[in-house]
Amino acid sequence: MQNAHIGVEAVYYLQRMIDNPPAHEALLAALGGEPFALKYHIENELDLWKSNNITPLFVFEGQSTAGKEEVALKKAKTALQRTERAWDIYTVSREKADEAVARFGSSGIFSSRH
């Protein structure tokens, strides 16, 4: 793929970086914000592409399609419920902190907005 131009679906690319190691942070749903190491991992990947003379062309979504907002809202509500359960576990029993962290990490609060 050297000397190539590749198209990258930007939202999917960023979501993959957030949801998977090494940029995934289990407590992101609890702490909010962006993953601390996200910028670092993106820059490393861009440097790797550059060293192989690969030019990424990031493509962003166009206009919304009918029903898209409803799907995103449904996913957000589900993720919020999972996060609330994780907080319940954390506040009720400090001995279950590992379970709470696991639930925060799998809450999907930052799931794809598709």
Kindly report, residue by residue over 38-60, the tens digit of the pLDDT: 888 889 999 999 999 999 999 98
Inter-residue contact 30 to 87 (CB < 8 Å): yes
Asked if pLDDT for residue 63 goes beyond 80, the answer is: no
Q: Where are the alpha helices (DSSP H) in 1-114?
A: 10-19, 28-31, 38-51, 68-92, 97-105
pLDDT of 75: 83
pLDDT of 46: 93
Inter-residue contact 79 to 61 (CB < 8 Å): no
pLDDT of 27: 64
Kindly report, residue by residue over 69-111, the tens digit of the pLDDT: 788 888 888 888 888 887 777 777 666 777 777 777 776 655 4
pLDDT of 101: 73
Asked if pLDDT for residue 6 goes beyond 60, the answer is: yes
Q: What global pTM score does this model have?
A: 0.50
